Chain A
Amino acid sequence: MSKQDVWQGTLALMVLKTLEAMGAMHGYGIARRIEQVSDDRLALNYGTLYPALVKLEQEGFIDAKWGVSEHGRRAKYYSLTRAGHREVARAEREWRQTTELVARFLAPAKAGS
């Protein structure tokens, strides 16, 4: 897989996970939340978020609705759909399996014992 694919897959999971934890959020909010959770270690280019949102919406994992922010600004709010909830569970499981697998390769001594 190319870097971009990894990044896109990861980003999508981050978005879904954020929405699962926080409920409906607008794009800026999601971006800031991802930065905060990563302790600002992840320098997110906000622009990359929106293509990911479009794709997730097309896949039917998230829904969008216009609303008003706490400071009275109009913004588009995203929330998880039923399919989205299932997708989070699936993707989480898959991600965990992948990282476990990779972890074994990174620590071969332990795996061999």
Chain B
Amino acid sequence: MSAPRQRTRALSALRRLLARLGGSFGGRARAERERELHDELESHLQLDVDERIARGVPPDEARRQALLALGGLEATKERVRDAARTRWLEDLLHDARFALRGFRRDRLFFAVVVLTFALGIGANTAIFAAFNAVLLRPLPYPDGDRLVRISSTDLRAGESRMPVTPADFADYRDATRSYSLMAASSDGIFTLTGEGEPESIIGYRFAPEMFTVLGVHPALGRAFVAADGAHVVVLSDRLWRRRFHSDPGVVGRYIRLDSERYLVVGVMPQSFNQWGSNELWVPLVIGPDIATSRTRPMIRIVARLRPGATVESARAELRTVAASLATAHPDTNALRGAEVVSLRTIDSGDARPALYVLLGAVVFVLLLTSSNIAGLSLARASRRNREIALRTALGAGRGRIVRQLFTESVLLACIGGAAGVVLALWSTDLLVRLFPTHTSNVHIPHIDHIPIDARVLLFGVAATLLAGTLAGLTPAIRGSRIDFGDMLKGGRASVRGSRIRPVLVAAQIGLALVLSAGAGLTILSAHARQQRLGFDGDRVFTARVLLDRSRYPDEARRRQFAVDLDARLHATRDIRESGLVHILPLCGWSSPVDYHTPGHPEETHEAGLLLADAGYFSTMRIPILRGRSFTATDTLTAPKVALVDERFARHVFGSIEVVGKRVDFGTAKEPDWRTIVGVVGDVSNDPPPQRQRMMIYWPFAQDDPPFLAVVARGDGEASAVAAAVRDAIWAVDREQPISYAMPMDELVADAFALDRTSTIILGFFALVALVIAAMGVYGVLAHTVLERRHEIGIRLALGAPRRHIVTLVGRQLALMTATGLVVGLAATLAAGRVLAALLEGVSAHDPGLLAGIITLLALVAAAAAALPLWRALRTDPMIALRDP
């Protein structure tokens, strides 16, 4: 007795909720219904009143009695509204139950559709989860979207995000009004000694107000203030756990950095680990000697926008300031601009294009899976024609049938969507590999897990509803148009149904073309980038050495370290070849140098600079194209020499025959002429997606290396080479920390992590697209053959040649495929314009690739047609007689 009542109660609660949700929709129709209801009840009362008056009841009393008999005007209205609303909910439940019963009868259909939905929705949810984790996740600072980075730009070289000089910083700060607070910082490298192995640590020098700008507070202790002086330090949570065993007692103790004593005043919270790879913060002290400098760019500025200011307005204002500085200080600031970029943009900048490409591609996957399901549902609907016709005949309205079919589709999408979210949860492990683990200073955030949070789930629900709607629309509209008269008589599938499916399949082929072409281009581009590394890192082991300035205070000692290390490395048995360079390729660091254009000494441009020795080029197999490599004679006292890469030679001189030419790398007051002694091959020094710059190489012996890296190649095990490198370094200086010891291959893999993983994903999407297109072609042709088996049987019985049957099937195949390919090609060419910006080394309209993919799709379509064709040819002519 109570179950139905409970259900009624649950229904009415749900109904109220939905009524509230639906309140904003269909307002006009609702007002209309309300008015009509009111009119009807008023008319009822009037009729009742009339009759009561006729019986002699006084008018007022008659009205009162009529209202009483009705049970109140508003109460009745409410009861009617309730009845009207419950109806569609009951229908929905009924439809859902009915659909589930249907699925139980049609298990294969159910499984295929749910899996397809799961794939489409799961892929979308997973990619969105990665997108969400990188581009939408909150920054680890309160109100982080109001934070901006202010940098200088080189107006001529187009270089942006350059550090700011101390004097410019002061002017930016004093002349702008867009910021509530602006603070300076600069990065540095510190050597931590005293506890365990010596270690090079990347740290930041923070102006004390930087903590306020960022809005962060230490988890332990306090941040430093101006009164603390220079020798205090705040540790990162990471460093605190790793080096100090999470000991809260470290606050108040002294640690040794660069051989000086620093008082630990605080430890930052774990959430602050995301701030680059830095491990500690010490006060930034700008001495009076450099405070007025406009030639030493060393400051990185973070500012918080004042309420009302936008990044755009702040940028416009700062450009004006930079322009006035250019006028006031033409000799230093003439070519210097300024840029304001939100911290969020910088944080994820390099991952952005790849994620947009993936997100775009995955939408195509959703369209494809939905259209595939629409095709499957149409096929199923044609088998259900009799059922639908019967229901129409029994008085079910057209809307009712549309709703039934639609409910089925959305229900399938919901089941598939739930499976899809589970799929997405699993696949985030794969997606995490998009993000490099070792490459620093690349603007790709380090992400070790991709959360499926509320926003991702909401996206999954939206994708589910969209997919269900897309897949359900065509079958529902089609299904409702079945002419039940015909159906009850003949029971044969109506012809109209088979006209929509070929259109769907043509669309699938078109979508598959766009998706595979996009994937193909991205893969080719990534491949081209990896092909043009310009060096061979196989079996090369690397280690970086950041010399402690307190122990190597002068140039001579630093140079001596390099000389000693070089000798040691060459004397080691496990190392066959070795070399030194100051920055390894693809590690994310770079150093620039200005050169004067030969023939136009007033023009200076920027190129990348590397300090290297001869061993670097031979170990890395970087070819010497012209002239010679560095030699032992290129000493500090010898004539200054340089190597340039092919890019530089062609750009500056228009030819690679540049040996013997001289280039000035100095300033107007202090020229620094060097002779080009050789040309080397181009090397990918900057990780993708950054563009490669022209490179200049100076011999290690003729400059002061701020830090250095070892490249070593051995015949034995990688671990043996690694140990040999470590021993060589420690043989020179047992106190010297070694950073980032790893095989060169690992560095390469890391730099291309985003590229490689996204090409795997895109390749997978393209494969899914091909499979779906093949399924579509197969489905339509199989349906055609089944539907026309009588005709085929009769033809064969009458002796029609088999090629007629081939033509029958072939014509439909050709029409679908050709339409799909033409439309797909047009869409691909249009999309190419968007994609072109992200491609390197391959044209967005690469004819070979497009031709290849079109051929592949045509072959896949033909292969999918083979089975239906075979069936058609084997049709038993007797079928025409047996089953008329």
Contact = CB atoms under 8 A, between A and B. Distances in A.
A95 interface: no
A55 B46 contact: no
B83 A54 contact: yes
Contacts of A47: 70-72, 75-76, 79
A23 interface: no
Interface in B127-153: none
B395 A2 contact: no
B71 A5 contact: no
A74 to B, nearest CB: 6
B18 to A, nearest CB: 16
B76 to A, nearest CB: 4
Contact of B71 (A45, A74, A76): A45
B44 A28 contact: yes
Interface string A40-67: 0000011110111011001010000000
Nearest to A74: B43
B43 A75 contact: yes
Interface in A51-92: 51-52, 54-55, 58, 60, 69, 71, 73-76, 81-83, 86
A27 B40 CA distance: 8
B397 interface: yes
Given A2-B1, A71-B50, A50 B43 contact: no
B876 interface: no
Nearest to B71: A47
Contacts of B72: 47
B71 A48 contact: yes
B5 interface: yes
Nearest to A46: B70
A83 B395 CA distance: 6
B82 interface: yes
Interface residues of A, number: 29
B87 A58 contact: yes
Given A48-B79, A51-B83, A60-B397, A2 B5 contact: yes
Given A5-B4, A26-B43, A27-B40, A50 B76 contact: yes
Contacts of B71: 45-48
Contacts of A86: 394-395
B735 interface: no
Interface string B1-12: 100110010000
A1 interface: yes
A76 B40 contact: yes
B21 interface: no
B251 interface: no
Contacts of B4: 1-2, 5
A40 to B, nearest CB: 13
Most buried by B among A32, A47, A74: A47
B79 A51 contact: yes
Nearest to A75: B43
Contacts of B395: 60, 81-83, 86
A28 B394 CA distance: 30
B54 to A, nearest CB: 9
Contacts of B87: 54-55, 58
A5 B75 CA distance: 19
B47 A51 contact: no
Interface string A10-37: 0000000000000000111100100000
A22 B855 CA distance: 73
Nearest to A76: B40
B69 A45 contact: yes
Nearest to B4: A2
A36 B70 CA distance: 17
Interface in B699-753: none
Nearest to A81: B395
B47 A50 contact: no
A75 B75 contact: no
A64 B72 CA distance: 23
A50 B39 CA distance: 13
Interface string A81-112: 11100100000000000000000000000000
B454 interface: no
Interface string B29-66: 00000001101110110111011000000000000000
Contacts of B396: 60
A12 to B, nearest CB: 11
A54 B47 contact: no
Nearest to A43: B69
Nearest to B73: A47
B395 to A, nearest CB: 3
Given A1-B4, A50-B41, A50-B76, A58 B84 contact: yes
Interface in B546-572: none
A27 B80 contact: no
Interface in B843-876: none
A12 B68 CA distance: 22
A48 to B, nearest CB: 7
Interface string B79-92: 11011100100000
Contacts of B43: 26, 28, 73-76
Contacts of B1: 1-2
Nearest to B2: A2
Contacts of B397: 60
A75 B42 CA distance: 9
A83 to B, nearest CB: 3
Nearest to B91: A58
Contacts of B46: 73
Q: Which of B1, B4, B69, B396 lies at the interface centre, i.e. has the most chain A CB atoms within 10 A of its CB?
A: B69
A47 to B, nearest CB: 3
A18 B306 CA distance: 75
A3 B4 CA distance: 11
Nearest to B397: A60
A8 B141 CA distance: 62
Nearest to B395: A83
Contacts of A83: 394-395
Given A45-B69, A51-B80, A51-B83, A69 B47 contact: yes
Contacts of A58: 84, 87
Contacts of A81: 395
A23 to B, nearest CB: 17
B565 to A, nearest CB: 88
A54 B5 contact: no
B5 A50 contact: no
Contacts of B41: 50
A58 B620 CA distance: 80
Contacts of A82: 395
Contacts of A71: 47, 50
Nearest to A58: B87
B85 to A, nearest CB: 10
B367 to A, nearest CB: 36
Interface string B593-634: 000000000000000000000000000000000000000000
Nearest to B400: A60
B397 to A, nearest CB: 6
Contact of B44 (A46, A48, A55): A46
A1 B77 CA distance: 25
Contacts of B44: 26-28, 46, 75
Interface in B81-135: 82-84, 87
The 8 residue pairs across chains A and B that have the minimum distance between CB atoms = A83-B395, A47-B71, A51-B83, A47-B76, A28-B47, A75-B43, A46-B70, A76-B40
22 contacts: A2-B4, A2-B8, A5-B4, A26-B47, A46-B48, A46-B70, A46-B76, A47-B75, A47-B76, A50-B40, A50-B79, A51-B82, A54-B83, A54-B84, A55-B87, A60-B396, A60-B397, A71-B47, A71-B50, A83-B394, A83-B395, A86-B395
Given A45-B69, A55-B87, A76-B39, 17 more contacts: A1-B4, A26-B44, A32-B51, A46-B44, A47-B72, A47-B75, A50-B37, A51-B80, A52-B83, A54-B80, A54-B84, A54-B87, A71-B47, A71-B50, A75-B43, A75-B47, A83-B394
Interface of A: 1-2, 5, 26-29, 32, 45-48, 50-52, 54-55, 58, 60, 69, 71, 73-76, 81-83, 86
